[in-house]
Every structure is written in structure tokens, then in C-alpha cells.
Structure 1
């Protein structure tokens, strides 16, 4: 049963429309190059309408993988496709694994705390995830390859893509955990001091330090770089002509690159250029 007739899951015509519009998404992100206003994370603001960080992140990010799973299980039936090829399910599995970690496990179980999120950021992220899920889900669920023979001759590229995807995911997890450790260490310190004074421990929501481990020795947003590597491998799995995977990678970069540059300015303002040193924002030696 369709949640939204002809849109979720999408008809062929509407899917093609979403894919065309989705490729123009970088135009929308141009505003990030001009503004430092980004009310989320380290640059969050105090507002009565803010959404709690953990809940906000989980809800705005989860819509992507949930929608993709729904499309994968409903669209083939509408198109009278009996069974999708294993390559399609491989790519869907990669997508779901990443976002179960990023949208559920990370914010709700691993992160000690998260700064509040402004509703505008939540809405934009929700729309990003939904458009991306429809674009990728439509391609994987019937509008792209529909038989195993469609993947024939590309197994070597798929294997290499899977390896790149896996290393990117592991790198993303490693550097995410390094950032968490900053707050875990602060929480342990505050708890120890509070116990000595007989007072409750304070919040670590806004505790930040310049990260130093792994690729953080060279860039301030190593977790961004690893995520780009991950989705580059994902695109390689789908192949050069997998427009939704390519658009996903391009849209991630054009969204996150100005955010990383903004974050570098924030680090320099808060800790000083001497503390930041020669680190680039996201690509070692370049930017």
C-alpha cells in the first residue's frame, strides 16, 4: 500500500522528476558559503524552539533508511518484479547499515550528549534524507537494474567499491568515537570533581577540544572525509551510470564542505590559530 500515491513509492515519472531536481541540490547549498549561521552542533544557538539534539538527529536522519527499505519492499510488487538482484540488495544493505549506525546507534546509545538542533536544520535534513531515499530507492527497487545479468561484468568494480565503502565506514566510526571521547573524558572529570564536592555533575553538551588522533592530525573534520570515501565506494558499487549514487556523493560534499570550512573558522576563533596549527578543514593539504 502506498503511503503517498505515486510518490512513496514513486511512479516512474515522479522518480525521474525527483532525480532531476536532486541533481540541482548543490545550488541550494550555495547559501552556506555566504552565511556562518548554522544552528546545530558546535554552532547551535539558544532558542525556545530548539529540538533536543539526540531526538532531533535520530528523527531527521532515520527517515532516509526507513523510506528506502519501504520502497525496496513495495515498488517491485507494483512493477511486477518477482525478485530483485543481489547487487541491489547489497547497495541497500550498505545504505541501511550506515544510517542505522548514524541515525540510531550513534545518537541514542553512543553519544554522551548532543547540542540542540534548530527546527529549520531539522526540516532541511529531513527533506534531504527523503529525496535521497526516493532517488536511490527507486533505482534499486525497479527503475535501475532488475536482473543479476545487469550486474554481470562488474563484479571486480563492486568488490573494490565494497572494500572502499567498508574502510570509509570504519574510518567514520573511528573518528566519531574520538570526538565522543572528548566528552566522555570531560564527563568523567566533572563527575570526579562533583563527587569530591558532593554536588551533581554538570552538563558536557558544549564541551569541545581540538581532536588529534587518526586523520585529525591533518584535518579538523576527518569524519566528513571518511564519509565521502564511503559514499565514493558506494557509487563505485552501483557503477558510473548510477546517477542517484553519484548525486548522493556530490550533494554530501557540497553540503558538508562549507560546513567544514565554517567549522575551521569556529575552531580558530575558539582555540586560536596556533592551537589549530596547519590542519586543513577536511582534505589533507588542500582545504
Structure 2
């Protein structure tokens, strides 16, 4: 049953429009190259309009994979398709696995705390997820490959793509957990001190240090780099002509690269250039 006929699940016209418009998302994110104002995470600001970091992140990041799942189970019936190719489900599964970790497990169960975010960040991220979810879901649920024959002859590239995707996801998890450990360690220390003094423990929302493990030895945003590798592998699974996967990767880089460059300036301002050393923002030896 369609939640919003023509939109969820998307009609072909809606899907094609979403795919076209989503290609221009980097225009929206271009302001990050000239402004350091980004009211979320380590650069969040005090505002009466701020929303919970944990729940804000969970709700905005869940929109994409929920749209994908809903469309995968409804659109084929509307198009008269009895089943979808295994390659479609493989790509969908990879996408859902990533976002269950990123949108549910990470913010609600693993992160000790998260700084509040401004509603504008939530709106932009939710918009990103909806356009991305519709464009990918439409492709995988009936407007792209519709038979196993469409995937024939590409098995070796799919296998390489799956390996890249898996290692990228594991690298992302490893480096994000290294960031969490900084805050977990601070929380343990503050709780011990609070117990000794008989006072309530203070929040660790704004506790930051320069991470040093893994690829953090070379870049400050190693988790971003690993995520790009992950989605590059995912695009490889879908093939060169999988436009939604390519658009997703390009938009991720366009959104996260200026954010990483901003973040490097923030680290240098807070800890000093000598502490940051020769680390780049996100690509070793380059940026």
C-alpha cells in the first residue's frame, strides 16, 4: 500500500526527478568552503533551537534506509515484478547494514554522548537522506536491473566491490570507536573524581583530543576516508552505470570534504598546529 502515491513508493517520474535534483546537492554544501559555521558536533553552538544530538542524528540518518526498505517491498508489486535480482538485494543489504549501524546502533547505543545540533543541520541531512533513499530505492526496486541477466558477466567486479565495501565499513567502525574511546575515558575519569568528591559527574559532550590510532596518524578524519572507500566499493558492486550509487558517493565527498577541512582548522585552533603536525584533513599526503 502506497503511503504517498507517486512519492512513496516513487513513480518513475518522481524517481527520475529526484535523481536529477540530487546531482546538484553539492551546490547546497558549497557554503562550507567559505564559512566555518556548522552547528553540530565539535563545532555546535549554544541555541534555544538545538535538538538532541543522539535523537537528531538517529531520525535524520534513518530516513534513507527506511525509504529504501519500504520501496523494495512495495514498488515491485506496483510494477508487476514477481521478484528482484539477487544483485539488487545485495546492494540494498549493504546499504541497510551501514545505516543500521550509523543511524541506530552508533548514536543510541555506542556513543557515550553527542553534542546538540541546530535544526538546520537536521533539515539538510534529512533532505539528503530522502533524495538519496528515493534515487537508490527506485533503481533497486524496479527502475534499474530487473533480472539476474542484468548482473551477468560482472561477478569479479562485484566481488572486489564487496571486499572494498566491507573493509571500508570495518575501517569506519574502528576509527569511530577510537573517537568514542576518548570520550569514554574522560567519562570514566570524571565519574571517579565525582565519586571521591561526592558530586554528580559532569557531562563529557565537549571533551575532545587529537585521535592517534590507525589512519588517524596521517589524517584527522580517517572515518570519513574509510566511508568513502566503502561507498566507492558499493558503486563498484552496482557497476559504472549505477548512477544513484555514483551520485551518492560524489555527494558524500562534496559534503564531507569541506567539513573535514573545517575540522582541521578547528583542531589547529584548539590544540595548535604543532600538535596537529603533518596530518592532513582526510586524504593522506593531499588534503
* TM score, norm. by length of structure 2: 0.99
Deviations 1:2-43 (Å, cap 9, x if unpaired)?
Answer: 122211111111111111111111111111111111000000
**Alpha-carbon distance between aligned partners in 2 of 1:52 and 1:252, rounded to the nearest angstrom:** 23
**Alpha-carbon distance between aligned partners in 2 of 1:127 and 1:282, rounded to the nearest angstrom:** 25
Q: How does 1:91-170 map to 2 (within 5 A)?
A: 91-170=91-170
**Alpha-carbon distance between aligned partners in 2 of 1:66 and 1:87, rounded to the nearest angstrom:** 19
Q: 1:242 maps to what in 2?
A: 242
1:35 partnered with 2:40? no
1:46 shift after superposition: 0.4
Q: 2:68 maps to what in 1?
A: 68
**Alpha-carbon distance between aligned partners in 1 of 2:24 and 2:61, rounded to the nearest angstrom:** 21
**Alpha-carbon distance between aligned partners in 2 of 1:122 and 1:73, rounded to the nearest angstrom:** 27
Structure 1 residue runs of 4 or more that deviate by more than 6 Å after TM superposition:
none
Q: Structure 1: which 5+ residue stretches go unaligned?
A: none
1:198 shift after superposition: 1.2
Q: How does 1:1-287 map to 2 (within 5 A)?
A: 1-287=1-287
1:99 shift after superposition: 0.2
SS of the equivalent of 1:30 reads helix
**Alpha-carbon distance between aligned partners in 2 of 1:16 and 1:56, rounded to the nearest angstrom:** 29
The two structures, once aligned, show a CA RMSD in angstroms of 0.5
SS of the equivalent of 2:237 reads helix
Q: Structure 2: which 5+ residue stretches go unaligned?
A: none
SS of the equivalent of 1:170 reads helix
**Alpha-carbon distance between aligned partners in 2 of 1:24 and 1:114, rounded to the nearest angstrom:** 30
SS of the equivalent of 1:29 reads helix
1:134 shift after superposition: 0.2
**Alpha-carbon distance between aligned partners in 2 of 1:3 and 1:244, rounded to the nearest angstrom:** 23
**Alpha-carbon distance between aligned partners in 2 of 1:91 and 1:215, rounded to the nearest angstrom:** 27
- Residue-pair matches, total: 287
1:132 shift after superposition: 0.1
**Alpha-carbon distance between aligned partners in 2 of 1:87 and 1:120, rounded to the nearest angstrom:** 36
